[in-house]
Structure 1
Amino acid sequence: MKEIPPTPESFEVIAAATDALLAGVAGLDDKDIAAPSRLPGWTRGHVLSHLARQAPALERLLEWARTGVETAQYPSRAARNAEIEAGAQGPAATLLTDVRTSAAHFRRTIEELPAPAWKATVRPFTGELCTPCRILVIRIRELVLHHVDLDIGYDVADIPEPARRIVLDDVLGYYAEAEGTPDVTLRDPEGALLGRFGTGGPAVSGTPADLLAWLSGRSTGTGLTGQPPALPPWL
C-alpha cells in the first residue's frame, strides 16, 4: 500500500498532474464533454465530475485525520455515483470550473494540514487503513490515469516520471497482495526487476509506461514482451 511523504516535492507532483489535466481540458465544450471516455459507460463528463467531487471527498478524510472525528469519504456508493452523475450532466463550463476550483482547494488543504495529522489513521472508500500520506498517492493516481481515460490525446506514456513511478509502485503493491494474481515476473527492457507476483512464473518485460498501462487496465499489453497473463480487476 503505497504512501509518500507530505513534502513540497510530493505536492509538486500533484500540482503538475493537475496543471496538465486542466490544460488538456481547457478547450472542451458541451459536445466534447458528452462524448464517450475510455471507461465503459462513462462520458468525459463523468470522468471530470468524478475528479471534481473526489477532491472534497478526500478532504473529508483529511478532516478526520486533523480532528480525530471519523468522517467517511463518501456516505455510500449510491451517493457517490449520484454525485458523479449529477455533475456529468451539467454544462462544460460549470464542470471545468468545478474541477479547477476543487483541485485548488485540495492543494491548499494538504499544504495546510498540521504535521501531527499526517500520522493519523483513516480509512478511504476502498477500505484500507492508512495515514493521509496514502491520500496523496490516491490523488496522483486518479489525476493521471483519468487524464488518460478522457481520451483527449494524453496517454500513459505522457505521464511524467515522478507520477508514473508512484502509480506503478502503487499498482504493483496492490497485485502483490491481491487474491488471484497470477505468477509473473516483470522486468524493464534492460532486464531489471520491477516486480514479481507469486512464485515469479513467466517473465513479461516492457517500459514502465507500457507495464503501467497494462497493469492499470489501460491496455491489453501493447509493447510488452512475453505473454501477459489475465489479471484480476484492479480497483
Structure 2
Amino acid sequence: MVARHDLATDPGLQEDLLQARRGTAFFARKLNELTDAELDGGTLLPDWTRRHVVAHVGYNARAIARLVEWAATGVETPMYPSPEARNHEINFGATLSPIALRNLFDHSAVHLSVEWRDLPDPNWANEVRTAQGRTVPASETVWMRTREVWVHAVDLDNGANFSDIPAPVLERLLKDITGAWKTRGTDTGLLIKVNDTAGNGTNLPFGDTSAAEPTIITGPLAAVVEWATGRGTTGVTATGQGLDGASRNEVPPPPKWI
C-alpha cells in the first residue's frame, strides 16, 4: 500500500515541504477569491493577465513533478523540452476556460504533492537539472516551488503582498536574488540593508558588502524583497553614491534577477 505520509525523514526537508504546501494553499485562496471574469485582469507582471499567472503556476507544478519523477526512477525527465515549449504552454493555458484553468492549478498541485510524498528518503539526494541548466539535488525542487507559489500569489494583484510571505521564505529569496546578482557581477556598488530581520531591528546586509561608497537600499524585509524582485519600491529608501540631484530621493530599479 502506498504511504499516506511523506517518506522524507529529514526535519529540515519536512519543514521545507510544509512551507511549500502552505504557499500552495495561500495561492489557492487568492485564486479562489477571484471571479471568473476577474481572471482576465492584469497582474504585477508586464503583459501577463491573471490567466497567464495561473497557467504558469499550474504548468510549473507539472514541470517540477517531472524532476521528482526523474529522481525517483533515474530516467531523465526534463522540466520542459525547450524555453519555447514552456512559453507556448503558458500562452495556451491562458486561453483555457475558467473551470479548466482552475482545475489545472488544483490537479497539478495535488500531483506534485503526491510525488514529493512518495519519494523515498535516499532519492532526495539524486541530482536533476533545472530549466536554467543547474544540476541540483531533488530536495531543491521544494524551494523552487515554494518561491513560485508565494511570489505569484502576490502577482495576482488581488490583495496579497510580500508581508504575507513568511520571513524564512523572504530571507532565502533575498539570498537567492543577491546571489544571482553576485554571480553575474551586477551587484557592484549595491548594498542592501534589511532593518527588521526577525523583528529585532538588526541591519542585515546583502549585496556588495565590500563597496567603499555603495548605493544603499534600506527597508523592512518584505519591502526589500518586493523591490529586489522588481515588484515595487514602497517602504524602501536609497542613499549613497550615484544618487544626486533630481534622483536623490528615487529608488533605482534592481538588477535583473532571472
TM-score, normalization by structure 2: 0.82
Deviation string 1:128-179 (CA, Å, 9 cap, x unpaired) is 1211122111101110111111111111122122322332232232223223
Paired residues of 2:16 and 2:143 also in contact (CA < 8 A): no
Partner Cα distance (1:150, 1:144) in 2: 11
Which residue pairs with 2:104 in the alignment? Answer: 98
Paired residues of 2:186 and 2:255 also in contact (CA < 8 A): yes
Partner Cα distance (1:116, 1:51) in 2: 28
Is structure 2 residue 42 aligned with structure 1 residue 31?
A: no
> Aligned to 1:44, which of 47, 50, 59?
50
Which residue pairs with 1:169 in the alignment? Answer: 175
Give 1 or 2 for the bigger CA radius of gyration: 2
Is structure 2 residue 245 aligned with structure 1 residue 234?
A: no
Which residue pairs with 2:207 in the alignment? Answer: 196
**CA shift at 1:188, angstroms?**
2.1
Residue 208 to residue 89, structure 1, CA distance change in 2 (3 Å): same
- Once the two structures are superposed, the pairs formed by residues 62-211 of structure 1 within 5 Å of their partners are 62-189=68-195, 190-197=201-208, 199-200=210-211, 201-211=214-224
Partner Cα distance (1:56, 1:21) in 2: 16
Partner Cα distance (1:73, 1:5) in 2: 27
Partner Cα distance (2:40, 2:11) in 1: 37
Paired residues of 1:187 and 1:205 also in contact (CA < 8 A): yes
Partner Cα distance (1:230, 1:141) in 2: 21
Paired residues of 1:182 and 1:198 also in contact (CA < 8 A): no
Larger strand proportion of the pair: 2
Partner Cα distance (1:99, 1:144) in 2: 14
**CA shift at 1:230, angstroms?**
4.1
**CA shift at 1:225, angstroms?**
2.6
Bigger relative contact order (CA 8 A; separation at least 6): 1
Partner Cα distance (1:180, 1:225) in 2: 20
Partner Cα distance (1:115, 1:172) in 2: 31
| Structure 2 residue runs without a partner (length 5+) | 1-9, 196-200, 240-250
Residue 28 to residue 204, structure 1, CA distance change in 2 (3 Å): closer
Paired residues of 1:181 and 1:198 also in contact (CA < 8 A): no
Tell me the matched-pair count.
231
| Structure 1 residue runs without a partner (length 5+) | none
Paired residues of 2:71 and 2:123 also in contact (CA < 8 A): yes
Residue 180 to residue 172, structure 1, CA distance change in 2 (3 Å): closer
Partner Cα distance (1:5, 1:132) in 2: 16
**Fraction of identical pairs, as percent:** 32
